[in-house]
């Protein structure tokens, strides 16, 4: 959920440029929620001073919130050709998504956006056209690295522009804001060229069908699979809309030139098993993606059988292990061979390990380092590394921190309101008013709704209504929860002195407490409980 805001000018006359506008994905702690978006109330208040949104690259955690949040800002958006084309293609999948005026920037381009003098520097990552951003100001220079690694053979697009980074280092960088994802990993991340070789070997050794699952936006990986297929006399079939979309976009931009054509799903049926490689969506275990459907025998036209191979050319994002594990187990049960990055060189990360970080620090030699893009352990490891390579000052900035970068000394000077918004069905809300907190409680312990009718003297009139949602039917003694709750309601009303039964709220609260504690006694859990008192 990356979103950075850079400001220039005195507090009463400051312009802002947003760098990236990403999403995060909800886990089971937010039941029913699709996406998590950054809370941008601070930016909304400063909207008149916001000159634009600059996107570093086309990963969801960097540009995925644009369609949902742009209508609150309505400022120009800047992206490279691949990001712009992929974003436009994604629009077809998002009903009601706004038309966003987008200016296309080239890697290496320098231009001004409002008072900001920016330059995009090509880096390497795990998709085409990733960029670092250099800000030049009269008070000094600031480098925002974005997501990067050092890959001199990235298999698509240009490699990281080390010459330009070295020149920028010589020009002088005061502050570097840098990727921490792999700051705890020693050494260097392998190149996409190593993955291409490993992929070819796996495919060459396979006797029957091969399916490779990847992150859809990883065009280098798509190229590597296509090259390996060509060399082993196989054809590539695309299974899944997300990869189809990326192949269409990358093809239009010339990124798949020189490769044999990709085949659609229909070809899978008639190609002999040793003549096909399938590129499959769903590497994170997404239940509606092609891989899950195939693994659980639910795909309309594609099946795998004993002796086939599935290559997991991706990293499982924390939180998705169970879903991916279920798919791998289903495949193994069918006799399908599984290849992961533990078995062969078929995946590499798009983020810098420690030696790459050290190399960039040597090239740039910033006066100040600000570690970003990582969990606290990654940020801490990055900070320690930056100090160890001689960076004089490291500033740790938590979410919402307002850091004065220039003139120095760089330090946290204030905090902006920040947080998350949840996208829940078709609504975007702060979690407190989304109902999701209550929904989580209901999902854990169910709910009870009770309606009682009292007359003027405080006597129960007729039957009262009890509805249970998500409770067990009976307790360990065999008593139905419905009966137990009913008994508690009756007993509670009778135990309240008649005078006090005139107070509806007092009666409702007494019943609520008694019911929750009676259920807790039998079940060890307290359901949500809603009591309505009616009078006749």
Q: Which residues bind Zn ion (CB under 5 A)?
A: 59, 61, 147
Q: How far is the CB of 89 from Zn ion (least distance, A)?
A: 18
Structure tokens at 98: 């706004």
CA–centroid distance for 145 within its chain: 19
Q: What is the DSSP string of 195-236?
A: HHHHHHHHHHH-SS-EEEE--TT-HHHHHHHHHHHHHTT-EE
Q: How far is the CB of 30 from Zn ion (least distance, A)?
A: 21
Q: How far is the CB of 321 from Zn ion (least distance, A)?
A: 20
What span, in angstroms and rounded, lies between the C-alpha atoms of 507 and 467? 18
Q: How far is the CB of 179 from Zn ion (least distance, A)?
A: 8
* Between 130 and 169, CB nearer to Zn ion: 130
What span, in angstroms and rounded, lies between the C-alpha atoms of 336 and 340? 13
* Between 15 and 59, CB nearer to Zn ion: 59
Q: How far is the CB of 56 from Zn ion (least distance, A)?
A: 8
Q: How far is the CB of 84 from Zn ion (least distance, A)?
A: 16
* Between 22 and 282, CB nearer to Zn ion: 22
Structure tokens at 128: 């085409």
Q: Nearest to residue 355, comparing CAs of 535, 183, 110, 134?
A: 183
Neighbouring CB atoms inside 10 A of 139's CB total 12
Where are the strands (E) in 234-284, listed by range? Answer: 235-239, 276-280
Contacts of 522 (CB under 8 A, 6+ apart): 475, 476, 479, 481, 484
* Between 146 and 458, CB nearer to Zn ion: 146
* Between 58 and 229, CB nearer to Zn ion: 58
* Between 61 and 119, CB nearer to Zn ion: 61
User: Is the bond into 223 cis (omega within 30 degrees of 0)?
Assistant: no
What span, in angstroms and rounded, lies between the C-alpha atoms of 335 and 172? 58
Q: How far is the CB of 123 from Zn ion (least distance, A)?
A: 10
Q: How far apart are the first and last CA of the chain?
A: 54
* Between 59 and 423, CB nearer to Zn ion: 59
């Amino acid at each position: 959920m990356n979103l950075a805001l850079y400001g220039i000018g005195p507090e009463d006359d400051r312009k802002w440029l947003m760098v990236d506008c990403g999403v995060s994905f909800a886990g089971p702690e937010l039941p029913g929620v699709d996406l998590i978006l950054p809370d941008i109330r601070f930016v909304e208040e400063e909207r008149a001073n916001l000159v634009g949104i600059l996107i570093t690259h086309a990963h969801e955690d960097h540009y995925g919130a644009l369609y949902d949040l742009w209508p609150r800002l309505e400022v120009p958006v800047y992206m490279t050709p691949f990001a712009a084309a992929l974003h436009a293609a994604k629009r077809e999948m998002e009903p009601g998504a706004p038309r966003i005026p987008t200016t296309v920037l080239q890697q290496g381009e320098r231009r001004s956006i409002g008072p900001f003098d920016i330059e995009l520097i090509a880096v390497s990552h795990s998709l085409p056209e990733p960029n670092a951003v250099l800000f030049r100001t009269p008070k000094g220079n600031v480098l925002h690295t974005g997501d990067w690694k050092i890959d001199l053979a990235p298999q698509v697009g240009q490699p990281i522009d080390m010459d330009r980074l070295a020149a920028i280092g010589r020009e002088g960088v005061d502050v570097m804001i840098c990727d921490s994802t792999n700051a705890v990993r020693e050494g260097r991340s392998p190149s996409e060229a190593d993955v291409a070789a490993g992929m070819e070997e796996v495919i060459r050794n396979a006797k029957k069908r091969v399916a490779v699952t990847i992150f859809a936006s990883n065009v280098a990986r798509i190229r590597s699979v296509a090259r390996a297929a060509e060399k082993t006399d196989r054809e590539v079939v695309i299974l899944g809309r997300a990869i189809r979309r990326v192949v269409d976009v990358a093809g239009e931009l010339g990124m798949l030139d020189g490769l044999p054509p990709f085949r659609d799903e229909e070809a899978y049926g008639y190609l002999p098993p040793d003549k096909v490689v399938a590129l499959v969506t769903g590497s994170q275990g997404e239940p509606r993606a092609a891989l899950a459907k195939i693994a659980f025998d639910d795909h309309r036209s594609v099946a795998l059988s004993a002796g086939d191979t599935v290559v997991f050319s991706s990293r499982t994002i924390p939180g998705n292990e169970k879903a991916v594990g279920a798919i791998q187990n289903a495949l193994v049960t069918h006799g399908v061979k599984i290849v992961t990055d533990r078995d062969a060189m078929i995946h590499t990360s798009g983020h810098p390990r420690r030696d790459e970080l050290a190399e960039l620090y040597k090239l740039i030699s910033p006066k100040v380092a600000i570690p970003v893009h990582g969990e606290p352990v990654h940020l801490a490891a990055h900070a320690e590394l930056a100090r160890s390579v001689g960076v004089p000052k490291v500033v740790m900035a938590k979410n919402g921190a307002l850091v004065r970068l220039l003139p120095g000394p760089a330090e946290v000077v204030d905090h902006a309101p920040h947080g998350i918004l949840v996208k829940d069905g078709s609504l975007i809300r702060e979690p407190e008013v989304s109902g999701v907190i209550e929904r989580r409680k209901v999902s854990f312990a169910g709910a009870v709704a009770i309606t009682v009718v009292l007359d003027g003297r405080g006597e129960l009139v007729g039957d009262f209504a009890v509805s249970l949602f998500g409770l067990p039917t009976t307790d360990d003694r065999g008593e139905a929860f419905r009966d137990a709750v009913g008994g508690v309601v009756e007993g509670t009303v009778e135990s309240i002195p008649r005078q006090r039964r005139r107070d509806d709220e007092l009666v409702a609260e007494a019943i609520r407490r008694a019911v929750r504690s009676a259920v807790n006694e039998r079940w060890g859990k307290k359901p949500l409980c809603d009591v309505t008192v009616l009078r006749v």
